[in-house]
Amino acid sequence: MRTFIFSLLFLSGWLTMHAQQPVLTFHANGKFKIVQFTDIHYIHNNPKSDVSIERIHDILDAEKPDLALLTGDIIYGEPAEEGLRFILKQISDRKIPFACMFGNHDDEQGLTRAQLFDIIKTIPYNLTGTTEGLPGVTNFILPVKNRQGNKDLAILYCLDSHAYSSMKGVEGYDYIKFAQIQWYREKSMAYTRENGGKPIPSLAFFHIPLPEYNQAAADETAILIGSRKEKACAPQLNSGLFASMKEMGDIRGMFVGHDHDCDYAVIWKDIMLAYGRYTGGDTVYNNLPNGARIIELTEGEEGFKTWIRLKNNEIINRIDYPSDVIKKEDE
């Protein structure tokens, strides 16, 4: 009897957890909105983190997103579990689906990436996944389906960009590994085959920017919108992810964090390379007021709209991609 009761409780908990993992679909109005929170750098019970919590609530109130993506450096102090749970509770309590990618600081607070992932899995409305056999932990895909829920119309690739280089003679930050790139290529090709040979419009999210961010920002012909108050702290080695994305033909934009004094979007080889807006408080360096990047997809359109939302409902740096880019090139 005790075993039977335990089985019922386990089944009830499993069904509840999975019922709170909704399928992502476009709304009846044809829109799907993502909020990107990045570099929250939360320290539990530290008053310097209060402004980050205020901003998260302000932005969720104003935007009412369909999905929240946290692109790394969520926590910046111990206790790691309490801090992580507190941040994610602000989103989960609103019944908003969310997913996390790790940054270079998340696993410096006493828990490993795997341990942090195990905590995230217990929180309702979590869509964070992992792919066994790949370097890192937060490598997963989130399809966004049509209003009927029977066809993939957009693909969100979420990648673990690791932390620091472990290669002898190569300092600085790590790079996205070849196995991850091959995994992306295989998944992309599979989605393209299922879509009758046409790539499905896709976006990519991770923490550390690619070397192409600096290459694009330094090009006088590139279209750059937003603030660039520091050089992108990219890996010294280029593992070729951007080249693969161009070759696959599906990625329309990628969104990172890591560099707190950048919030720009730059068009490079027809792909938008964008930063989120630093969401944290005064626990680390920041010379830009905190906020978040919003990305809005429209069913049936290959492009997207994006903007930065700050406190007091201020909106800056609106971009309609690719139509704004085409207009600027024509001027």
List, as one string, the DSSP characters of 11-23.
HHHHHHHHHTSPP
Instruction: Answer whether residue 132 is part of any domain.
Output: yes
pLDDT at 324 (0 to 100): 78
Q: Output b/e per residue, 292-319; b: 16+ Cβ within 10 A.
A: bbbbbbbbeeebbbbbbbbeeeeeebeb
Q: Which long-range contacts (CB under 8 A, 24 or more apart) does 119-123 make?
A: 119/81, 119/84, 119/85, 120/84, 120/88, 122/17, 123/85, 123/88, 123/89, 123/92
Q: CA 107, CA 281: separation in Å to the nearest integer?
A: 19
What mean pLDDT is reported for the chain? 93
198 in a domain, yes or no?
A: yes
Strands of the sheet with 98-101, listed across from one edge: 98-101, 67-71, 31-37, 292-298, 304-309, 315-321
- The answer to the question of residue 271 being in a domain is yes
Domain of residue 271, residue span:
24-330
What's 218's DSSP letter?
A: T
Is there a domain that residue 259 lies in?
A: yes
Is the pLDDT at 5 greater than 50, yes or no?
no
Q: What value does the mean pLDDT take over residues 275-299?
A: 96
Identity of residue 197: G
The Cα–Cα gap between 19 and 16 comes to: 5
Q: Which residue has 């044809």 as its token pair? A: 30
pLDDT band at 187 (very low <50, low <70, confident <90, very high): very high
- 13 found inside a domain: no
8 A C-beta contact, residue 29 and residue 147 = no
Distance (Å) of CA 100 to CA 51, 125, 160, 272: 20, 12, 10, 21
- For 145, list phi and psi in degrees, rounded to 5: -95, 165
- Full DSSP string of 84-108: HHHHHHHHHTTT--EEEE--SSGGG
In this prediction, residue 323 carries a pLDDT of 85
Q: What is the pTM of this model?
A: 0.93
Q: Are strands 31-37 and 67-71 parallel, antiparallel or unpaired?
A: parallel
In a domain, 264, yes or no: yes
- pLDDT tens for each residue of 97-140: 999 999 999 999 999 999 999 999 999 999 999 999 999 999 99
* pLDDT, greater one: 96 or 330: 96
Instruction: Tell me: pLDDT of 263 over 90.
Output: yes
Classify residue 19: in a domain, yes or no: no
- DSSP class of residue 228 equals B
| 188-233 pLDDT per residue, tens | 999 999 999 999 999 999 999 999 999 999 999 999 999 999 999 9
Residue 8 pLDDT class (50, 70, 90 cuts): very low
Label residue 278 by pLDDT band (50, 70, 90): very high
**Percent of residues, the chain, with pLDDT higher than 70:** 92
Distances (CA, A) of 18 to 118, 121, 125, 148, 197: 15, 11, 9, 20, 32
At 177, the amino acid letter reads K
45 Rama sector, left if φ>0, alpha if ψ -120 to 50, beta otherwise: left
Residues facing 67 on adjacent strands: 34
Beta bridge partners of 296: 33, 305
Length, in residues, of the chain: 331
Task: Tell whether the model's pLDDT for residue 4 goes beyond 80.
Answer: no
Domain count, the chain: 1
CATH number at residue 231: 3.60.21.10
Does the pLDDT at position 25 exceed 80? yes
Any domain includes 172: yes
